[in-house]
Amino acid sequence: MRKKGIIVLNFGSQYVQLIARRVRELGVFSEIVPYYITPDEIRKKEPVGIIFSGGPASVYEEDAPKPDPLIYELGIPVLGICYGLQVMTFQLGGRVERSKTQEYGRAKLKIVKECELFEGLPESFDVWMSHADKVIDVPERFETFAVSENSPHAVIGNKNKKLYGIQFHPEVTHTQYGKEILANFIFKICKGQKNWEMGNFIEEKVKEIREKVKDKKVISAVSGGVDSTVASVLVHKAVGDNLRCIFVDNGLLRKNERESIEKLLKSMGLPLKVVYASKIFLERLKGVEDPEEKRKIIGNTFIEVFEKEAEKIENAEFLLQGTLYPDVIESAHVEGASKIKTHHNVGGLPEKMNLKLIEPFRELFKDEVREIGKLLNIPDEILYRHPFPGPGLAIRIIGEVREEDLKILREADYIFTEELKKKGLYRNIWQAFAVLLPVKSVGVMGDVRTYERVIALRAVESVDGMTADWYRLPYNFLDRVMRRIINEVEGVNRVVYDISSKPPSTIEWE
């Protein structure tokens, strides 16, 4: 935790990651911590402010998450959001009740008393509500600063103790002036200063990695994606010739992937060795259908291959991975987060690993890594390459992974990507790919009845991968891709387009 930042106590909100992102966008470091963090642990982090996230619980439930009440006595400003407001009210002697009229969606907030949170803002504006309980009586020495139609105490606070609570969600884009409200809390109430800038991050990480590695060797697990490539360039800047980049061909790559990545990385001056290990990966995946089991097998095999390569490199002690903060959160390595799936970089690792991990981007979001890449002069061809999961096509084949299925999926995925680039759509999309479904459908091709495979196409727009919406591809474009896949890929007679958002779905199917 960077000193003088903001800590976000996680009460289970679906928006907790957005809070951290919004704070960082304001140039201040933020860290998500479990709601039960102790006051002593908070003191050690030396934050300028604390934010309580929202959450699905009611303060009157027996097992409702509640922070240590001594937090309010630390002298550190606190901003409670939604459930954060309610739990603060409850613990400090106010009253919270189930509302007869619940508020979900857009609501009009009306400011009734001046407050530093609203400095420079109009008297009324739209906010995003999502709550069933509401504050009925505020705690002693608290004031009400704003109301909505169904929340008589939509914004409350104790100015002397710098404790504030808001019923709405300033972190979501649907709330007008949400960023300004957070900025007022951080800079006017907490007296925080900007301490989160990518140029400084690079300098700090280079120094930190040099001190950690010393004269040892670092093996970089490069995939050709944004995260591992930027991480490799950063570490190369820190340790120079003590870096060894290794690319594992696991047999689960896209069409022409190994050849194009090898060319790109070598052109950037990175020392690269390609390991051909597809046989061992595919053998271990035989008969395996469960997605979590597939991820674990691939993760274990991946590390095993690297350890064997490490034995060939004298003085090798570290393994570099491009783990991101969303990976850590979604794999429930941030307490308070529910596990969504195991990410290749953070899950499925052996308990005993002979290589020590270096994860310089473990506290970053994807767009922040791209910003670092620009500062390191990495080509756009890599920086804007769509994310590709560590387990590769194994989790885009639903069910068992077979050679014949990999061939089908590679060709369909290649056609989809090729057409996106031809039409200038690739850079507009966060991630696009094809999925091979475990079903067959009836079709008619050349007056002959067929019973063949189904390809699902997925394209989403996002900022950091934590939330995503399906991309509205033109019908004529989808028509062309569908015709090419069915005509050119043997074994496919149906193509569908996935229009699910995240949440409730994830971006990948497995």
The answer to whether residues 199 and 234 touch, using CB atoms and an 8 Å cutoff, is no
- What pairs with residue 319 in β-bridges? 219, 357
Residue 131 designated active-site: no
DSSP state for residue 184 in the 8-state scheme: I
| Residues 177 and 45 placed together within one structural domain of the fold | yes
Half-sphere exposure for 496 (CA within 13 Å, toward CB): 12
pLDDT > 70 in the chain, percent: 91
CB atoms within 10 A of CB 404: 10
- Residue 331: pLDDT band (50, 70, 90) is low
Task: Please state the pTM of the whole predicted model.
Answer: 0.66
- Residue 309: pLDDT band (50, 70, 90) is confident
Which of 383, 408, 424 corresponds to the end of one domain?
383
* Mean pLDDT computed over every residue of the chain: 88
Span 256-299, pLDDT tens digits: 999 988 988 888 889 899 999 999 999 999 999 999 999 999 98
Nearest alpha-carbon partner for 68 in 58, 78, 81, 60:
78
H/E stretch holding 317 reads strand 316-320
Residue 82 designated active-site: yes
CB atoms within 10 A of CB 311: 10
| Residues 253 and 105 placed together within one structural domain of the fold | no
Which of 383, 417, 439 corresponds to the end of one domain?
383
Q: Which residues span the domain enclosing 212?
A: 198-383
> Is 506 part of a structural domain of the chain?
no
Of 82, 115, 190, 245, which residue is the catalytic one? 82
| Residues 152 and 230 placed together within one structural domain of the fold | no
The answer to whether residues 357 and 248 touch, using CB atoms and an 8 Å cutoff, is no
Note the pLDDT of residue 295. 92
Note the pLDDT of residue 333. 44
Angle (CA) 321 247 506, round 5°: 55
By CB neighbour count within 10 A (0-12 exposed, 13-18 middle, 19+ buried), where does 506 fall?
A: middle
Of 171, 309, 330, 411, which residue is the catalytic one? 171
**Res. 442: pLDDT tops 80:** yes
Note the pLDDT of residue 464. 67
Residue corresponding to tokens 């996002």: 462
**Res. 22: pLDDT tops 80:** yes
**Res. 337: pLDDT tops 80:** no
| Residues 263 and 226 placed together within one structural domain of the fold | yes
**Res. 345: pLDDT tops 60:** no
Number of domains in the chain: 3
Span 178-210, pLDDT tens digits: 999 999 999 999 999 998 888 888 988 999 999
**Res. 348: pLDDT tops 70:** no
Note the pLDDT of residue 225. 85
The answer to whether residues 42 and 71 touch, using CB atoms and an 8 Å cutoff, is yes
Residue corresponding to tokens 């809390």: 185
**Res. 102: pLDDT tops 70:** no
* Sequence-ordered list of residues with C-beta below 8 angstroms from that of 476, at least 6 positions apart, any chain: none
| Residues 287 and 426 placed together within one structural domain of the fold | no
The answer to whether residues 224 and 369 touch, using CB atoms and an 8 Å cutoff, is no
* Range in 22-36, 95-109, 186-200, 283-297 the model is least confident about: 95-109
User: Residue 504, preceding bond cis, omega within 30 degrees?
Assistant: yes
> Is 268 part of a structural domain of the chain?
yes
Q: If you average pLDDT over residues 392-396, what whole number do you get?
A: 95
Residue 171 designated active-site: yes
The answer to whether residues 21 and 173 touch, using CB atoms and an 8 Å cutoff, is no
More confident residue, 8 or 352: 8
Alpha helices in 325-471 (DSSP H): 325-330, 366-375, 380-383, 403-422
Span 54-76, pLDDT tens digits: 988 889 888 899 999 999 999 99
Three-class secondary structure of residue 143 per DSSP: strand
| Residues 371 and 492 placed together within one structural domain of the fold | no
CA distance 469 to 435: 17
Domain harbouring 433, CATH code: 3.30.300.10
Residue corresponding to tokens 């996680």: 10
The answer to whether residues 285 and 401 touch, using CB atoms and an 8 Å cutoff, is yes
**Res. 245: pLDDT tops 80:** yes
Please provide the distance, in angstroms rounded to a whole number, between the alpha carbons at the two ends of the chain: 32
| Residues 162 and 106 placed together within one structural domain of the fold | yes
For residue 214, is it left (φ>0), alpha (ψ between -120 and 50) or beta?
A: left
The answer to whether residues 492 and 454 touch, using CB atoms and an 8 Å cutoff, is yes
Three-class secondary structure of residue 13 per DSSP: coil
Task: Give the distance from CA 423 to its chain's centroid.
Answer: 28
Of 153, 169, 236, 344, which residue is the catalytic one? 169
Angle (CA) 12 17 22, round 5°: 135
